[in-house]
């Protein structure tokens, strides 16, 4: 079984919690690396205090840990791509990453503007042409730093695997929505990350709440399975998790190290039955076209 660590942030010491989370899964940052990519979740212009985006302080703690373990001169790139309603250059500036990059001498890379190579990937019964950015290709170590969030009725949970979907440089990501589960898996197959560290200091849930949690694993499937349980979503109902396991991206079976999963499950700002029913009704409305007739977008 894959290892998943759960560490409580104590005395606001994020760096110590990250280091402990890596120690619990037996992960050591390689010494012979030159280029590192860090992929936060910068899905929109929401401040980290909403629980929707990765806290720049979390990234700073990770950068310092990496440089302490390797070299102060190691090349680190923070990457994100444009989306339909979000432009990287604005997200980097608004969310504090532009200042972070100058202060800590790291690169900010908009993957939409990066050179790329197209690869053919299958997931389930679908074939995809995935553009893999040069910065991703050339990285010796790729680190994913997602958030735990509820998503659409179809996807259910956004975390490790879904965050890598954001490495897709194509800005019109909505074109993948009809086959979103397969697209998530295909993009993860094309761009495999070595390490996944969750910033769950503030969780979004149905409202923002300080959870004070850091999780880590080398297996994104195991990690997403664990986070779905924390958010009280049955992982067996998440299609892309089942497919990701089938396609060899990881295992849904996992062993936890550190704090009990049930502790954070009890603390997580979960959806009520009313929220769940509203979500299901909205999904049905979209499928049937009723939302347009009612004027609901």
Q: What tens digit of pLDDT does each residue of 230-274 get?
A: 999 999 999 999 999 999 999 999 999 999 999 999 999 986 544
The SS3 of residue 22 is helix
Q: How confident is the model at residue 285 (pLDDT cuts 50, 70, 90)?
A: low
- 160-215: pLDDT as tens digits: 999 999 999 988 888 888 999 999 999 999 999 999 999 999 998 788 999 999 99
| pLDDT confidence band for 288 (50 / 70 / 90) | low
- 296: pLDDT strictly greater than 50: no
Distances (CA, A) of 1 to 66, 256, 260: 27, 10, 17
On average, the pLDDT of the chain sits at 92
Considering only CA atoms, which of 30, 32, 34, 29 is closest in space to residue 73? 34
Handedness of CA 250, 253, 255, 256 (dihedral sign): positive
196-206 as b/e, with b when 16 or more CB fall inside 10 Å?
bbbbbbbbbbe
Dihedral (Cα; 89, 173, 222, 210), 10-degree rounding: 50
Show Cβ contacts of residue 43 under 8 Å, excluding neighbours closer than 6 positions. 52, 53, 83, 86, 166
pTM of the model: 0.91
pLDDT of residue 142: 99
Q: Are the beta carbons of 159 and 198 closer than 8 angstroms? A: yes
Please tell me the distance from the alpha carbon of residue 293 to that of residue 289, in angstroms, as a whole number. 7
Q: Quick one: fold of 2-270?
A: Rossmann fold (3.40.50)
**pLDDT tens digits for range 15-64:** 999 999 999 999 999 999 999 999 999 989 999 999 999 999 999 999 99
């Amino acid at each position: 079984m894959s290892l998943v660590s759960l560490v409580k942030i104590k005395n606001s010491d994020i760096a110590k919690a990250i280091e402990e989370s890596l120690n619990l899964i037996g992960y050591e940052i390689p010494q012979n690396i030159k280029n590192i990519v860090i992929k936060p979740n910068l899905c929109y212009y929401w401040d980290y205090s909403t629980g929707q985006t990765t806290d720049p302080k979390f990234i700073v703690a990770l950068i310092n840990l990496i440089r302490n373990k390797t070299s102060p001169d190691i090349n680190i790139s923070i990457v994100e791509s444009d989306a339909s309603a979000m432009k990287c250059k604005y997200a980097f500036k608004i969310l504090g990453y532009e200042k972070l990059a100058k202060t800590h001498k790291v690169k900010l890379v908009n993957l939409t503007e990066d050179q790329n190579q197209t690869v053919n990937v299958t997931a389930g019964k679908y074939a995809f042409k995935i553009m893999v950015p040069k910065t991703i290709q050339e990285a010796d170590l790729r680190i994913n730093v997602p958030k735990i969030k509820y998503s659409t009725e179809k996807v259910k949970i956004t975390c490790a695997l879904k965050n890598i979907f954001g490495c897709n440089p194509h800005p019109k990501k909505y074109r993948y929505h009809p086959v979103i589960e397969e697209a998530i898996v295909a993009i993860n197959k094309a761009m495999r990350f070595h390490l996944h560290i969750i910033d769950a200091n503030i969780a979004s849930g149905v409202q923002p709440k300080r959870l004070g949690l850091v999780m880590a694993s080398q297996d994104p499937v195991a990690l997403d399975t664990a986070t779905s349980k924390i958010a009280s979503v049955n992982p067996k109902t998440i299609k892309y998790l089942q497919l990701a396991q089938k396609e060899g991206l990881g295992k849904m079976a996992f062993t936890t190290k550190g704090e009990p999963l049930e502790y954070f499950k009890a603390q997580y700002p979960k959806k009520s039955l009313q929220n769940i029913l509203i979500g299901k009704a909205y999904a049905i409305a979209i499928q049937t076209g009723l939302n347009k007739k009612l004027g609901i977008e």
